[in-house]
Structure 1
C-alpha cells in the first residue's frame, strides 16, 4: 500500500491548495503562521497528554492540571488572546490556503469563547468531568496500558510513565471534587451513567495490583533496558498501583456508589438537568458546526429514517427475503448464518476485506496515507461498553500505526453482515485516511493537522461507507443490508439523541425505536442509547457531516460534468484537515468555480 501511495501521490491536480505547499511569504501570512505555532505550543504545554497522543514526548512526564479552575481559566485566556491576535491579521492579504486556515481557526475560537463567556455553561461541563463513555478513568487506563498512545520503548518512556502515574491520584481526587461541586449546584449526571461508571471502576479495581492494566507495560520490558533498571521500575510501579493508584480508584468508586448515586438524576436526558436546554443547544452547534435547533435535527432524522426503510425493503427483495421489515430485522439478528463462530473469524474477515478495498482504492484516491494500519481486538477492559469498532490514530511519522479495533464482546451480536461497512468507516478509506492524511500534511498548521471537529471526522467516515460500490464492497445483498443498517443507525441517532435530550425520551423508548427500525442487536442498541445519554450531541455529527459531503459531491458532479474526478474531489475534502462544514462548503464552491473557469 505504501508503494501505491508514492506512485499515486504525483497524480493530484488541484485548483486550490490541498497538499504540502508552503504559504506565501507575505507579512500577513507570516503573522498567521506565527500565531498558529505559538497557540499550538502553548496548548501542548497546558495539555501534555494531548502532546503525547501526537507522539510528542517533551511533556510526557506530566498529566497537567486537569479538572482545576486554573486549567479552565488558562484555556479561556488563551482563546481570548487567539481571537485578538487573529483579528489583527488582514485576511484578504493571505494566501488561499491560509484564508482557509484563518476561517477554521476563527470558527473554533468562536465556539470556545461562547463557552468561556457563559459561566453557567462552563460550570455545567466542569462539574460532570467524566462519564461512562468518555472519561479520564478510561482514557488514562488505555494510555498507560502499553497498548495506547504512550510509548514504552526506552528507559525515559518508563520513567515518564512513573512520573505521570504519581499525578494520577491527584487527578482522580479533583474529579471527585468536581462531582461534589455539581451536587451542591444541583447539576449531576444521570443514575444510569453513574451506575455504568461504578461498574467500570469495579472492573479495574477487581484486577488487583499485579493484574492491573497499569502493570501490563512492566510485565515484558524491552531488552535494551538494563535488568537492574527493569527491576527498579517494576517495583516502583507496583508500589504506585498498590499505595496510590488503586486506592484512588477505590475512593472514586466508593464516592460514586455511596454519595453521588443517591443524588444523581433519574431522567437520562439533558432536558431533565438544570440548565440542560442551553447545554444541548451548545452541543448541537459544537458537534455539527451548523446553526441547527433540536427540532430541525429531529425532523431531518425522521425523514432519513423513512427514506432508508424504503431502501431496506428493496434490498430485502434482492436478497430473496419474504416478509416485512420487522421480520427481516428479527431474521438478521437471530439467524446463526450471520453470527461469527469466533473472534478469530472476525479478525480474518477484516484482513480479507482490507485486501479487497486496497485493490480498488486507487480508483477513488490519488493520495494515500503513509501510516500503516493495524487490526486488533478491542481491549477487554473496555469492550462491554465500547462500540462494535473504533479507530485510534497513529503518529504522523509512522512510528505508531493507526489501529482499527473490532469488538468481540457478546460474539453472537457481532454480525457478519456489518463487517464491510464497519471497515470502510473505521479504517479505509474512513478514519484511517482522514486522520492520517491530515496529520501527515506538514504544510498545515498543527491545529488543522491534529485537531478538527466531529461533524467532519465522523461525517467523512460515514461518507466513506457510501463508496461501497466504487470499492467493490457489498456485492452480497446481505452486506448491502448491513450498509443500509449502518446508515440507518446514524439517521436514528438524529431522532434518538434529540428525543432523549430535547423531548424527554427515556432509555427504554429509545432502545425500542432503534430495534423497531433496524436489525441492531439488543446489546448494540443498548450501548448506543447509553452512549447518547453519556455524551449528548456527539452522535448528531455523523449524519449531518455525511449529508453535507454527499450534497457537495452531487453539486460538483452536476456542475463539472466530465471535468469531475472523484480522486480530485476527495483530495479537496481531505487535504486541509477536518474543516467546519461551513468552511468546507465555501472551499468546495471555490474549487468548482475555479474548475469551471479553467
Structure 2
C-alpha cells in the first residue's frame, strides 16, 4: 500500500491508443531535435511546472522547495476550476502537435499524457465532483491523517534551515484554513444528501481525539522543534519553539476542536448507515470511474467480482495443500483459527518485529542480483507506524523518498494490537512494500531523468500495486518462504488481493454490509479480525483502489509467461524486470505493447 495524500486525487493512466512498441525509456538522444518532439517536451515541462504551483505539497515530496511556504488549496471551487482549465489547455496544446512526426518514444508519452489528462478532466466533471468534493477527507486517506507525519520532522517536509521552519509555520496556518473548508464542504453534502458512512465519521472523530490528546508539546507537529540541526542559533531556536507552540495551541488545536464538534454534533446524526457507493446518490457513476481509473481498464464490476471468486477458489486449493503438508488434521477454516490464535505465530514484542524485518531485508538483498540488474540508488529505511495513526493503518505500507536519495524510502510496519500481527506472511509483506516491491518501482521511476516529470512522479494504481503484488511471486527466486507457514502466509497475502476483488465490488456494487464483508474475509483466510476490519473500512473509504493489485499483477504475470514461452533459453528475468521497471508506471495496454516489442527484438 502506497501512502496517499489526497482522497480521490491521484494521477491516473489507462490504456492508450495502439502503439509502435518502442521502449519509453530509450536514451534521451533518441528524441530527434524535431519541432514536434521539442514542442511535446515543452508542453510536458510547462504543464508540470504549472501543476506544481497549484499543488505545492507535491513539489515538496519531490524535494522541490520553491513553493514550500504554501500548503495549497485542494478543496475550493476555484481550485477545481483551475485544474479543469489546465487540463483543457493541455489537451488543446497536445492536439496541435502532430503525433505522426514524433519519435516512437514520444508517441507513447503523447498517448499516456493524453489519456491521463482526459481521465483527470473526467474526475473534475460536475457529476463526479458532486460526490467527491463534498466528502473531502476520510479516515484512511484524509489529509488530517497524513499531514502530521509530513510535518513531524521525520516526514517529507525538510527541517534544515530557519527558512524551512518558517515555511512550516506558514503551511500550518494554511492547514487551519483548510480544516474549516472541510466543514463547509461537508455541510454542502448534507444539503444534497451526499454524506459519509457513519463508521467513517466515527473513525475520523477517533483520529482527531488522538491528536487533540497529544496537547501542545506532545503534538506530532511539535516534533521539529524538539531537536534542531547545526547552524540554527539559540535565539532562532527559542523563537521557533515559541511560534510553533503558538500555532499549535492557538491555530491547529482550536481548528481540530471545531472540526470534531461539527463531526460529532452535526454530521454524525445525518451520516448514512450504508457503506457502499451503491447506496449513495451518484455513487454508481463514481464507482464505474474508479474501477477504470484504478485498473486502467474499462472493466465491469460484475466481471471483476467473478474474477475474484475464481481466484479465491484457486488459492484455497493451494492452501489445502499446505495444511496437509504440515499435518494439521482439522479443516482449513480451523487451520485459519489456529494460525490466527496460537501464540507461537504471534510476535514476541515490537522490538522483535523490528529486528525480524531487518533480518528479512538482509536475506532479500543477498539474492537480488540474481533477478535484477536495474537497482535504485535510494536507500530503504524500516520504521514502525507512528502511534497517532497506527489503529487505522494496514499491517505494512511504503512512503517514497526523494529522487536524489537524500530522504530514503520507508517501509512502515504496524505494531498496533501486536497479537494480531501474526508472523506468517512477514516475508511476503516485505517483498511487497519494500524490496523489490514499491521501493524498487517508485524509486527507479523517480530517478529516471530520461522520463518526463509526469511519468517519473505520476503513476497508476494497477501498475504500482500490481508490481508490488507481482514482487511477492518472486519468493522462491529470492530465497523466501522456505518454511511452509511462511509460504502459507504468502498465499494468505495473495488471497487478500483476490478477496479484495470480491469484497470491494460486493460493498460498492452489490450492497454488502460492513459485517458481511468482514465475515467473508475471515472465512476465506487466516487474516485477524483487526486487520480484516481495517481492510474493509479501507475499501469503504477509498472505493476501487483495492481492485488494482490483482488486475495489475495478473497482467505482469501473463506477460512474463508469454516472454518465457517465446524466448525459451534466451529469457533473462533481469532483462524482463528492467523492461517492466525502466519506464515508470505505465497503463496495462502500454506495458503490454512494450513487452511485446522487447520479445520481438530479443528473438
Q: TM-score range by the shorter chain?
A: over 0.9
Q: Identify the residue that residue 76 of structure 1 maps to in structure 2.
A: 84
Indicate conservation of the 8 Å contact 1:19/1:441, yes or no.
no
Q: Identify the residue that residue 18 of structure 2 maps to in structure 1.
A: none
Give yes or no for the alignment of 1:461 onto 2:468: yes
- Alpha-carbon separation, structure 2, partners of 1:387 and 1:476: 24
Q: Identify the residue that residue 563 of structure 1 maps to in structure 2.
A: 570
Give yes or no for the alignment of 1:578 onto 2:570: no
Q: Identify the residue that residue 113 of structure 1 maps to in structure 2.
A: 121
Map 1:32-71 onto structure 2 (within 5 A).
32-71=40-79
SS of 2:425's partner is helix
Q: Identify the residue that residue 332 of structure 2 maps to in structure 1.
A: 325
Map 1:21-420 onto structure 2 (within 5 A).
21-22=28-29, 23-116=31-124, 118-420=125-427
- For residue 17 of structure 1, report the CA deviation from its aligned partner: 4.9
> Normalising to structure 2: TM-score of the pair?
0.95
Deviations 1:417-436 (A, max 9, x none): 11100000000000000000
- Alpha-carbon separation, structure 2, partners of 1:526 and 1:460: 25
Show structure 1 runs of 4+ deviating over 6 A.
none
Indicate conservation of the 8 Å contact 1:133/1:531, yes or no.
yes
Indicate conservation of the 8 Å contact 2:25/2:450, yes or no.
no
Q: Identify the residue that residue 5 of structure 1 maps to in structure 2.
A: none
- Alpha-carbon separation, structure 2, partners of 1:555 and 1:439: 28
- Alpha-carbon separation, structure 2, partners of 1:179 and 1:248: 15
Map 1:3-22 onto structure 2 (within 5 A).
16-18=23-25, 21-22=28-29
Give yes or no for the alignment of 1:437 onto 2:444: yes
- Alpha-carbon separation, structure 2, partners of 1:183 and 1:524: 31
Indicate conservation of the 8 Å contact 1:48/1:62, yes or no.
yes
Indicate conservation of the 8 Å contact 1:15/1:595, yes or no.
no
Q: Identify the residue that residue 590 of structure 1 maps to in structure 2.
A: 597
- Alpha-carbon separation, structure 2, partners of 1:108 and 1:101: 10
Deviations 1:399-456 (A, max 9, x none): 1000101101111111111110000000000000000000000000111111101111
Indicate conservation of the 8 Å contact 1:18/1:571, yes or no.
no
- Alpha-carbon separation, structure 2, partners of 1:548 and 1:406: 28
Gaps of at least 5 residues in structure 2 are: 1-20
SS of 2:480's partner is coil
Indicate conservation of the 8 Å contact 2:460/2:585, yes or no.
yes
Indicate conservation of the 8 Å contact 1:497/1:537, yes or no.
yes
- For residue 19 of structure 1, report the CA deviation from its aligned partner: 5.7
- Alpha-carbon separation, structure 1, partners of 2:404 and 2:26: 17
- Alpha-carbon separation, structure 2, partners of 1:315 and 1:73: 55
SS of 2:411's partner is strand
- For residue 318 of structure 1, report the CA deviation from its aligned partner: 2.2
**RMSD over equivalenced CA pairs, Å:** 1.2
- Alpha-carbon separation, structure 2, partners of 1:230 and 1:514: 51
- For residue 558 of structure 1, report the CA deviation from its aligned partner: 1.2
- Alpha-carbon separation, structure 2, partners of 1:453 and 1:39: 18
- For residue 21 of structure 1, report the CA deviation from its aligned partner: 3.3
- Alpha-carbon separation, structure 1, partners of 2:471 and 2:114: 28
Indicate conservation of the 8 Å contact 2:559/2:595, yes or no.
yes
Gaps of at least 5 residues in structure 1 are: 1-13
- For residue 228 of structure 1, report the CA deviation from its aligned partner: 0.2
